[in-house]
Amino acid sequence: MQPEQRQPHAIGDIALHPHWQSHDHLIHWLVYNAEHHGHEVALRERRRGIWQGYTWRQYLDEVLALAAGLEALGVEPGDRVLVIGDNRPALYFGMLAAIALRALPSPAYPDTPPEELRGQLEAESIRCALVEDQEQVDKLLTIRVAGYGALDHILYDDPRGLEQAPPPGARAIAALSAQGRARFSAEPGLRAALQERTSVHAPAVLLHSSGTTGRPKGIPLKHGHIIAAVRNASRAGYFREGEVHMAYLPMAWVGDFIFSVGAAILLRFCVHIPEQQETALHDLREIAPTLYFGSPRAWSSMLTRIQVGIKESSPLKRALYAHFMPFAERLERDRLEGRRPAPWRRLWRGVGEVLMFGPLKDQLGLRRVARPYTAGDAMGEDVFLFFRALGLDLRQFYGQTENCALCVAQDPGSVSLHTAGRPFPGVELRISDEGEILMRADNVFDGYFDNPEATAETLRAGWMHTGDAGQLEADGQLVVLGRLSEVVYTNTGERFIPTYIENRLKFSDYIREACVLGRERDFLAALVVIDSEAVGHWAQINGVPYTSFADLSQKPEVYALVRAEVARVNALLPPALAIRSFVNLHKAFDPDDGEVTRTRKLRRDVIDAHYAPIIESLYAGRDSIEYEARIGYETGASGTLKRHLAIARVNADRIAEEA
Amino acid sequence: MFYRQSGIHHTRYAATRKLWPLAADRRLLGGLLALALLAPLLLPELYLNSYLAPWLIWTAAALSLTLLMGIAGQLHFGFAAVMAIGAYTSIHLARAGVPFELALIGAGLAAALIGCVFGAAALRVKGLYLVMATLAMQYLVSWVIINVPVISGGAQATLATPEVRLLFIPLDGDTALYYTALGWTLICTLLLLNIKRSSVGRALVAVRDKDFAAAVIGVDPLRYKLLAFFTSSFLGGVSGAILAFCYYQAVTPEQFGFNVSIQLVAMVLVGGLGSVIGAYLGAGFILLLPIVLTNLLAWVAGLELFPVSFNLIAHIPLMVYGALIIAVILFEPLGLAKIYDNIRKYFLVWPFRHAQR
């Protein structure tokens, strides 16, 4: 598209969704909340130990003042505004201020390295950025020095380290909203005008695909899409009005925008922002939300935390846990399989609720959670069962950024382990002849940003092609099998989806990440990253001395431990797909090295390139390898580090016999 | 298991100093308070006026002393003398026709003033030397009371308390006396709890931990030591008056002897230095345990399983009691309050062993 064509408010847009009411947009509902619920707390942030709140009226005031300030800076309708940093009220206000001006907030993950961020700035020709603190300002300055001169304005929330001598073009967000307030007293009518400027057809936010393959694609979502998604979900009972919500997930992720901005405004959530990412779990306990979303990884690390805590607990507590947890898991399994438990078992579960489940939920801060959700990845059966046994009605979502992440979810009556649930009311779902999941709904986007080829590929005849392989059960439940593009064949012609096996491996406490190899090879092998907390605790208990993560990963005892876990997974797989050798990596996969995306999905091509020597020796049948690890330092310099990595074989005896 | 900590968050700094943030603690306290208020209906007279009332009054005395010894760190081995001053002052004032409310305040002030005179020694001396200075107070006050007939009413005399009214209600009958004792103990409890969470309390603790270090950070040790002596002696004096009016209903010098001072110190130590709940537990332990032990032994002797001499019945409780004090101090040097705290924490972190990150 050419710049002059980039007006987001062209007539064609309205024709796309003729039934949308033009006033039905986020700013309208924000104004509604400020008028009708002005004194209710909309947003709380933990600052120096205290939860400082903003009412809906203050929320609107901040948004409008900032909008007036941004307009004075020259932010035009259709402009993209970068938003980068951890969750902060000022950044949420800034996003909505941009939205009020019909500009497009384009959030980025706070740990995005400069090169990647530059790509986003250039692709979207961004001139104005809202950032959290001095760290992000420095990052943007680096990009500016490196040649991206178009970045005129950097607006920061936290003035620490910037007050004395702000770099050129950098200003505090507070100063900007003060300027905006000054405009209100000078220009009567501006305040009211700002509330009316946007429309349901205007894009509200520019999110990005995770980029497992290639460059991230920009995904503009309109007010109407977001509102449709939230209404569908709330009609199906997945959100209630006035939920207590924790905004701790990255702002660049679609879920955070939908939950903490979209649903929060439409359904008047009280949004809570933790003090820091590191204190999120502690702050979660202080808030005890009623709605909680965690990635499968977050749930599983919560489970690990409980298990480690119980292992070091006193004998009585350990014994009670060892009795009640398996009991409740058996009970829950029966329930999922449709059997009604006997009255005495329900009674005994009530005793367990007092002795174990209630206190555990209280320790995690999940005591009041009525709607716990997960999405984004496969969840381990044991994790799923554990939290359901605890009495949390944990359910899975299925969706993509392209459809506001709210499409399919398990309803309370029919939760099962392998299905993703039924589509929301208002969402049409179909399986194509190739087995691909297709979707049509008001919350499905209207096309990628500046990328007509990708749009044409994804949106065909009104149907969105998700790229996921799936099937529909007889009762309308969707089963998601994996990415269509991820199906891989070995040399012997065996067909498998690596993610599927990797998830099974990751269900072990001791394995944090895994990468299964085998494409065009004779057999499967795996790169394993151990879980430092669980394995560290195990080493402590079993008297295995170690110094660092790298050292721990190479201990023969740890290899034996991981081998047992791999063998367990092998037992579940057809013999031809057994993992025959693996190596414990000396470090975790790191998004800074490009090995995983920010949402921690593996980038297989990068991993293949980084660990090529290791992978070769896995298949060459060697016992160990000297590996020169490339290390990227935070300063940008890089060095090499020599590592001696052992290679382990699994079920060698059985395989030898077969041979 | 009983404690629910999730969902407790503060929106103002003032709220973080809330006394009982946990609902479970509030429920427990509410229950205990209801029991204490209903006690005249629930308990027979004997238990009310010979167990519960003295326990409460001695708790008030122990609270007064723990303010000085536990929070401000100034040892005091003559606290019975402070109470004696309060008791005698209030009786003489009440006899002279001063309203009881004012007599109580007078008792507190007299005790506080004389207590401060001896407490002034604390500005110069510390530790064992302060013990000696306060012991001197014990003996001096005792001697003066016995040997000045105007105060004691003559050698070997017993002064009966006159009939008084408190807030227009005549103090006669067990119920009125009990509620007076309960009221005073609750006042002392709330006062101490609030001192502990205020800047005064933190200044006193700073003086306790190292007085010249406190001076360095701007806490005047002289002022705070005197303040501690004054406040503690005031509370001790009123407690002495309440003890005389609500329990003994007569005073003799022997009621406030040296052994009483030692018992008070024992209550504070066994209960836990500086702890409010410890004062309750310590007073209960020192006061009621001997009675319980004697009753138990009398019951065992009554079974006539084996012959027990009267001598033995008299001595065994004392020996067991001594052994128990040693056991408590050995097992948990921080006293019964710490034992309670340990039990509470066991349930607080349930089902883990320690607090999670």
The answer to whether residue A11 scores a pLDDT higher than 50 is no
Among A450, A483, A516, where does a domain finish?
A: A483
Tell me which of A52, A325, A363, A390 to substitute to probe the interface with B (most B C-beta atoms closer than 10 Å).
A363
Higher pLDDT pick, B190 / A338: B190
**pLDDT score recorded for residue A50:** 92
Q: Which of A569, A586, A578, A565 is closest to A647 using CA atoms?
A: A586
Distance of alpha carbon A425 from alpha carbon A428, whole angstroms: 8
Tell me which of B352, B353, B356 to substitute to probe the interface with A (most A C-beta atoms closer than 10 Å).
B352
Token pair 């201020």 is found at A97
Q: What CATH number corresponds to the domain at position A496? A: 3.30.300.30
Q: Which residues of chain A neighbour B346 with C-beta distances below 8 Å?
A: 314
Tokens of A126: 């961004």
Q: What is the DSSP string of A124-168?
A: TT--EEEESSHHHHHHHHHHHHTT-TT--EEEES--TTTSSSPPT
- Same domain as A544, residue A584: yes
Q: What CATH number corresponds to the domain at position A435? A: 2.30.38.10
What's the mean pLDDT when you consider all of chain A?
86
Q: Which residues of chain A neighbour B356 with C-beta distances below 8 Å?
A: 305, 309, 363
Residues of chain B with pLDDT under 50: none
Tokens of A592: 């800074």
**Partners of A643 in the beta sheet?**
A627
**pLDDT score recorded for residue B194:** 93
- Same domain as A72, residue A214: yes
Distance of alpha carbon A176 from alpha carbon A195, whole angstroms: 18
The answer to whether A310 contacts B352, with C-beta atoms less than 8 Å apart, is yes
**pLDDT score recorded for residue A401:** 86
Residue A535 domain-assigned (yes or no): yes
Residue A371 domain-assigned (yes or no): no
- Same domain as A582, residue A500: yes
Partner-chain residue, chosen from B7, B346, B357, that has the shortest CB–CB distance to A288: B7
Distance from CA of B200 to the nearest CA of A (A): 23
**pLDDT score recorded for residue A634:** 62
- Helix A89-100 and helix A26-36: axis angle, to 10°? 120
Rounded to two decimals, what is the model's pTM?
A: 0.81
- Same domain as A573, residue A523: yes
Average pLDDT over residues A423-436: 85
Q: Which residues of chain B neighbour A307 with C-beta distances below 8 Å?
A: none
Distance from CA of B196 to the nearest CA of A (A): 21
- Same domain as A158, residue A47: yes
The amino acid that residue A33 corresponds to is: N
The amino acid that residue A306 corresponds to is: I
- Nearest Cα residue in chain A from B357: A282
Tens digits of per-residue pLDDT, A486-530?
Answer: 777 788 877 777 887 888 888 788 898 899 888 888 888 899 999
Token pair 């679609």 is found at A254
- Same domain as A150, residue A49: yes
Partner-chain residue, chosen from A286, A317, A367, that has the shortest CB–CB distance to B351: A317
Distance of alpha carbon A29 from alpha carbon A263, whole angstroms: 11
Distance of alpha carbon A551 from alpha carbon A539, whole angstroms: 12
The sign one gets for the Cα dihedral A63, A65, A68, A69 is negative
- Same domain as A595, residue A466: no
- Nearest Cα residue in chain B from A52: B11
Partner-chain residue, chosen from A281, A285, A356, that has the shortest CB–CB distance to B351: A356
Q: Where are the alpha helices (DSSP H) in A236-278?
A: 254-256, 264-266
Q: Which residues of chain B neighbour A286 with C-beta distances below 8 Å?
A: 6-9
Average pLDDT over residues A247-270: 92
Whether the CB-CB separation of A74 and A97 falls below 8 Å is answered with: no
Work out how many CB contacts closer than 8 A connect A with B.
Answer: 75
- DSSP H or E run through B284: helix B276-303
**pLDDT score recorded for residue B112:** 93
The answer to whether A368 contacts B6, with C-beta atoms less than 8 Å apart, is yes
- Same domain as A557, residue A448: no
For the CA atoms of chain B, what is the radius of gyration? 21
Tens digits of per-residue pLDDT, A578-588?
Answer: 888 898 888 88
Distance of alpha carbon B247 from alpha carbon B178, whole angstroms: 9
The total number of structural domains in chain A stands at 3
Bond prior to B351 in cis (omega within 30° of 0): yes
- Nearest Cα residue in chain A from B352: A313
The answer to whether B351 contacts A313, with C-beta atoms less than 8 Å apart, is yes
- Same domain as A221, residue A140: yes
**A368 interface with B at CB cutoff 8 Å:** yes
- DSSP H or E run through A30: helix A26-36
**B143 interface with A at CB cutoff 8 Å:** no
Burial class (CB in 10 A: 0-12, 13-18, 19+), A630: exposed
Whether the CB-CB separation of B124 and B148 falls below 8 Å is answered with: no
- Same domain as A578, residue A496: yes
The answer to whether A282 contacts B357, with C-beta atoms less than 8 Å apart, is yes
Q: Residue A613's domain spans which residues? A: 487-658
Higher pLDDT pick, A169 / B34: B34
Distance of alpha carbon A60 from alpha carbon A74, whole angstroms: 21
Tens digits of per-residue pLDDT, A56-106?
Answer: 999 999 999 999 999 999 898 989 999 999 999 999 999 999 999 999 999
Higher pLDDT pick, A128 / A163: A128
Q: What CATH number corresponds to the domain at position A116? A: 3.40.50.12780
Share of chain A above pLDDT 70, in %: 95
Higher pLDDT pick, A31 / A652: A31
The string over B142-158, giving b where at least 16 C-beta atoms fall within 10 Å of a residue's C-beta and e elsewhere, is: bebbbeeeebbbeeeee
Q: Is B249 left (phi over 0), alpha (psi -120 to 50) or beta?
A: left
Q: Which residues of chain B neighbour A281 with C-beta distances below 8 Å?
A: 357
- Same domain as A505, residue A466: no
Tell me which of B9, B12, B348 to substitute to probe the interface with A (most A C-beta atoms closer than 10 Å).
B9
**A50 interface with B at CB cutoff 8 Å:** yes
Distance of alpha carbon A618 from alpha carbon A502, whole angstroms: 17
The answer to whether B356 contacts A309, with C-beta atoms less than 8 Å apart, is yes
Token pair 């004792």 is found at B181
Report CA A394 to chain centroid distance, whole Å: 17
Q: Helix, strand or coil for residue A616?
A: helix
Q: Is B101 left (phi over 0), alpha (psi -120 to 50) or beta?
A: alpha
The amino acid that residue A95 corresponds to is: M
Partner-chain residue, chosen from A51, A365, A368, that has the shortest CB–CB distance to B11: A51
The amino acid that residue B248 corresponds to is: Y
Whether the CB-CB separation of A111 and A86 falls below 8 Å is answered with: no
Higher pLDDT pick, B323 / A215: B323
Tens digits of per-residue pLDDT, A591-625?
Answer: 877 888 877 788 888 888 888 888 888 888 778 88
The answer to whether residue A5 scores a pLDDT higher than 70 is no
Tens digits of per-residue pLDDT, A517-563?
Answer: 888 888 888 999 998 888 998 998 888 899 988 889 888 899 999 98
Chain A residues 280-299 with a CB less than 8 Å from chain B: 281-282, 285-288
The answer to whether A50 contacts B13, with C-beta atoms less than 8 Å apart, is yes
Among A435, A465, A483, where does a domain finish?
A: A483
- Nearest Cα residue in chain A from B8: A286
The answer to whether A49 contacts B10, with C-beta atoms less than 8 Å apart, is yes
Q: Which of A87, A83, A134 is closest to A112 using CA atoms?
A: A83
- Same domain as A93, residue A10: yes
**pLDDT score recorded for residue A44:** 94
Q: How do beta strands A495-496 and A638-649 pair?
A: unpaired
Cα dihedral A186, A189, A192, A193 in deg (nearest 10): -100
Residue A600 domain-assigned (yes or no): yes
- Nearest Cα residue in chain B from A283: B9
Average pLDDT over residues A207-216: 73
Q: Which of A134, A27, A44, A154 is closest to A89 using CA atoms?
A: A44
Chain B residues 327-346 with a CB less than 8 Å from chain A: 346
The answer to whether B6 contacts A288, with C-beta atoms less than 8 Å apart, is yes
Residue A12 domain-assigned (yes or no): yes
